[in-house]
Each structure stands twice: as structure tokens, then as C-alpha cells.
Amino acid sequence: MIDSIDHIVLTTKDVKACLYFYCNILGMEYKINIIDNQKRISLKFGNQKINLHTESKPYLPHAKNPISGAVDVCFLSSIELVKWINIFNKNNISIEIGPVKREGAKGPIVSIYVRDPDSNLIEIANKIK
């Protein structure tokens, strides 16, 4: 039986812009590892990990069609959405939709949706208590 997700892979056209968004805007940390003589970058937050691949040079093995802008992911946050809205507004990041109620993996959530620099759809959500 599958217990959890260990990591996902995010393909990017621009590593610097990607790192700025996920680290400086969303507050994740990045880590660099050397594996098979290649520099590999990952994003860390909580117990989660996102590996970054560049669209022009994806690592092996990789998805059949590794392209940027194809991810739609929801991040849960303990920071209130009004604060996220302020953060996005201060950084000229448009909110596409929200706040809207949705059904999360463990119950109801309220979400806002933005795009990262590669146009991936990023959902930031708070659990509804």
C-alpha cells in the first residue's frame, strides 16, 4: 500500500525565477545536492520536497514530456489567506481566483489561486475548522 508522497518534480524554464518565487514569496528553503556529478536543486517545506528540473536539461529518468507550466498543486498554509493576498499584491502577483471554498484531501478548505513564473497553477489553502 502507498503511504505518502516522498517528492514531486517541478520542471522550470528559469531556475532563478523559480527559486525566487518559491523561496522569497512562498517561504520554502532550497537545497543543492551533487548526484552523479550533477547539481540538483530541491525545495523543502515541512516534511515535503519538490525536485527542480530544468526544461532544457531534465535529469534521467524523467517524465515522458517534461515541460514547464503543467503542474496544478495545492499548498496548505497556517498563514491566513488575507496575509497571502497582501504578499501577492506587494509582489505584483495576480490572484486568478479566490478566496473560494474547495474540498481538500482531509476536509473543507478555502483557497486562492496564483501562477508561478512558469505559469503552473498554485493553490494556497487554509483548512476550514
Catalytic residue among 80, 96, 103, 123: 123
Q: Where are the alpha helices (DSSP H) in the chain?
A: 15-19, 81-90
- Residue 78's contacts (CB-CB under 8 Å, 6 or more residues apart) are 126
Q: Residue 123 and residue 115: Cα distance in Å, rounded?
A: 9
| Interstrand relation of 121-127 and 107-115 (parallel, antiparallel or unpaired) | antiparallel
Catalytic-residue membership of 55? no
Question: Which residues does the annotation mark as catalytic?
Answer: 123
